[in-house]
Structure 1
Amino acid sequence: MEKLLKSRKTIQFLFGFLTLYAIYVKNVNLGLIIAFAAILGILFGKVFCKWMCPIGFIMELMTKNLKDDKLKLQRYNYFKVGCPISWIQGFLNKHSMFKIKVDSKTCTSCGICDDICYITSVDKKKSFYKNGKMDPGVAFNCARCMECVDKCPTNSIKFKM
Structure 2
Amino acid sequence: MPSPDRLKNNNRRRKGVQLLALAAGNAWLPGFFRGTIYQGPLKQICLPGLNCYSCPGALGACPLGSLQNAIADPIQQISFYVLGFLVLTGGLLGRFVCGWLCPFGLFQELLHKIPLRKWRPERKLPLARQLSYSKYIFFGVFIVLIPWLVRLSAGYGEPAFCKYICPSGTLMAGLPLLAANSQLRQLVGWLFGWKFLLLVLTVYLSIRIYRPFCKYVCPLGAFYGLFNRVSLYRVTVDASRCNSCGQCTRVCPMNVPVPQDANSPECIRCGKCAAVCPQDAIRCGIRRSGEVNAPLTGIYRRKP
TM-score (norm 1): 0.75
Residue 6 (1) aligns with residue 18 (2): no
Which residues of 2 match residues 110-129 of structure 1 at below 5 A? 110-120=245-255, 127-129=257-259
User: Larger radius of gyration, structure 1 or 2?
Assistant: 2
- Report the counterpart of residue 92 of structure 1 in structure 2: 227
Percent identity between the two aligned chains: 25
Cα offset for 1:76?
5.8
Q: Contact 1:93 / 1:139 at 8 angstroms: preserved in 2?
A: yes
- CA displacement 1:16-38 (0-9 Å, x = unmatched): 12223379546444762235564
- Report the counterpart of residue 16 of structure 1 in structure 2: 22
Selected match of 1:155 from 276, 280, 300:
280
Residue 51 (1) aligns with residue 100 (2): yes
**Distance of 1:86 and 1:107 partners within structure 2:** 29
Cα offset for 1:11?
1.2
Cα offset for 1:10?
1.7
- Going from structure 1 to structure 2, the CA distance change for 1:45 and 1:66 (only over 3 Å counts) comes to farther
Q: Contact 1:112 / 1:152 at 8 angstroms: preserved in 2?
A: yes
Q: Which structure has the highest helix share of the two?
A: 1
SS at match of 1:101: strand
Selected match of 2:240 from 93, 105, 109:
105
Instruction: Please tell me the residue identity of whatever aligns with 1:142.
Output: C
Which residues of 2 match residues 133-148 of structure 1 at below 5 A? 134-135=260-261, 137-148=262-273
SS at match of 2:249: helix
- Going from structure 1 to structure 2, the CA distance change for 1:60 and 1:12 (only over 3 Å counts) comes to same
Instruction: Please tell me the residue identity of whatever aligns with 1:10.
Output: G
Selected match of 1:32 from 40, 46, 50:
46
Structure 1 portions without partners, runs of 5+: 121-125
Q: Which region of structure 1 is more displaced relative to structure 2, 94-103 or 38-47?
A: 38-47
**Distance of 1:114 and 1:68 partners within structure 2:** 21
Aligned residues: 151
**Distance of 1:105 and 1:45 partners within structure 2:** 26
Instruction: Please tell me the residue identity of whatever aligns with 1:114.
Output: T
Q: Contact 2:10 / 2:272 at 8 angstroms: preserved in 1?
A: no
- Going from structure 1 to structure 2, the CA distance change for 1:63 and 1:71 (only over 3 Å counts) comes to farther
**Distance of 2:212 and 2:240 partners within structure 1:** 33
RMSD: 3.0
Structure 2 portions without partners, runs of 5+: 32-36, 48-62, 64-81, 123-208, 288-304
- Report the counterpart of residue 151 of structure 2 in structure 1: none
Cα offset for 1:4?
4.5
Cα offset for 1:68?
7.8
TM-score (norm 2): 0.43
- Going from structure 1 to structure 2, the CA distance change for 1:71 and 1:37 (only over 3 Å counts) comes to farther
- CA displacement 1:28-69 (0-9 Å, x = unmatched): 447622355643321121012221111111111111125685
- CA displacement 1:59-116 (0-9 Å, x = unmatched): 1111112568527872363323353432221111122012211111011111101110
SS at match of 2:240: coil
> Which stretches of structure 1, 4 residues or more, deviate above 4 A after TM superposition?
35-38, 66-69
